Amino acid sequence: MLPLSYAIRNLLRSKSRLAQTVGGSALVVLLVMAAVAINQGMSRVLSASGSPNNVILLGTGSEESVQRSEVSENTTGIASASIPGIQEILGVRAVSGEIHFMNYISSDDGSRAQALIRGVSPAILHVHPEVRLTQGRFPAAGEVMVGRLAWRNLGLKQDRLKIGTSITLNDQTLRVVGRFAAPGTVMESEIWAAIGDIRVVAQRETISCVVIRLEDPEDFSEVDLFAKQRLDLELSALRESDYYGRLSEFFSPLRAMIWITVSLIALGAVFGGIHTLYAAFASRVREMGTLQAIGFGRTTLLLSLLQESTLACLTGTLLASTLAMLLLDGLTVPFSIGTFSIEINSTVALIGILSGLLLGIIGVIPPAIRCLKPALPTALRS
């Protein structure tokens, strides 16, 4: 075997070629890591948003979107009194009637953005125990409380939604009186207001849904039976986890497009790297022939060329991993129904390393074979 120092010296022979190889591999690996992290983040926030203990009662035919659903306001009281197995907290049954309303809001500085506003009552804290009030208090009439990441989803500066500021919704001014956190869920990107205010703003006499929290997820059949028996209410029962699972499937084409884009860029980088190595190895045919003449086999020379390429690509992988930790880890990304955080975890790092290795191996094999293919007399005379 040729010593590793031989491969390192050859890498440093051309600084420009080394910079191209390292830079190209770093770009590809960074894109692959970003794609994996984005897909993981989106899937994670949608799966965490739905609790298996929660059941949503929606209007029949609106199972795909709670915002289109219409349910009679009396459903909240009827469901609370009729369905067994509902969780009780301090003697209060965990049943929450809600209005989900998408509209434009304006902040104090005149900024205008589309937001998901949820009309709620204090009962929502019973069905979503993961919600924690971090500042201020629960909103009363004419007030709102905002999720921890609502500013990011709206494209505003964080101080535009601090306690004491105001937002305008359909010419109605609402004051921010609280902030809440619900780690890892889409709720952190929402704005919550008193359900009466949203009923007036949305000009509707119905609510969007009723959310019920069960003691045991197996009691879903009781809620489903209630929905099928009460034909007058025109209800469909859906596990909250299943609802967000359907939303995850809805966004699967977006995740597929991310992978297609990354694959096309990676393919272009691989072909560019092969072209660069073809040009670099063309001038080394005599060198390879000389090494064969003094006793080194072609397999040994191929492994040495693989070492050069792999070292360069792994250097690019190290650079990409560093950039990913500095630029991407913890970054919040808004999408249509919320915001998710990018996490550079062990899975993302492992996929990045494997990508760098594959780039180093695949990119060098075609030009290396061409460099070693000529017969020894031809190689020495090249």
Per-residue pLDDT 10s for the chain (382 aa) are 778 787 788 777 778 878 888 888 888 889 889 888 888 888 888 777 778 889 999 988 877 778 888 898 899 899 988 888 899 888 889 999 999 888 888 877 777 888 888 999 999 999 998 899 999 999 998 899 998 888 887 877 877 888 888 888 888 888 999 999 988 888 888 899 999 888 888 888 889 999 999 998 888 988 999 988 888 888 888 888 888 887 777 777 877 888 888 788 777 777 777 777 777 777 777 777 877 788 888 788 888 888 888 888 899 999 999 999 999 888 877 776 667 788 898 999 999 999 888 888 887 888 888 777 777 777 677 7
Res 269: pLDDT: 74
User: Same domain, yes or no, for 203 and 185?
Assistant: yes
**224 part of a folded domain:** no
pLDDT for 337 equals: 67
Question: For residue 243, is it within any domain?
Answer: no
Domain co-membership, 188 together with 75:
yes
Does residue 166 share a domain with residue 97?
A: yes
Rounded-to-integer distance, Cα 111 and Cα 115, Å: 12
Pairing of the two strands 143-147 and 172-181: parallel
Return d(Cα 376, Cα 372) in angstroms, integer. 9
What is the distance between the alpha carbons of residues 336 and 248, in angstroms, rounded to a whole number?
12
200 and 108, same structural domain?
yes
Q: What are the φ and ψ backbone dihedral angles of 103, each rounded to 5 degrees?
A: -160, 170
Q: Domain check: are 115 and 159 in the same one? A: yes
User: Does residue 115 share a domain with residue 83?
Assistant: yes
284 and 326 share a domain?
Answer: yes
pLDDT reported for residue 323: 93
What tokens does 55 get?
């059941």
Q: Are 155 and 113 in contact (CB under 8 A)?
A: yes
**Which of the listed residues 160, 187, 215 is the one where a domain comes to its end?**
215
Q: What integer pLDDT is reported at residue 213 of this predicted model?
A: 93
How many structural domains comprise the chain?
2
Backbone dihedral angles phi then psi of residue 170, each to the nearest 5 degrees: 50, 50
Going by C-alpha positions, the residue among 53, 38, 40, 41 that lies closest to residue 242 is: 53
pTM (predicted TM-score):
0.75
Q: Are residues 144 and 69 in the same domain?
A: yes
pLDDT at 244: 82
Inside any domain, residue 220: no
Range of the domain at 306: 4-47+251-381
Residue 228 lies in a domain: no
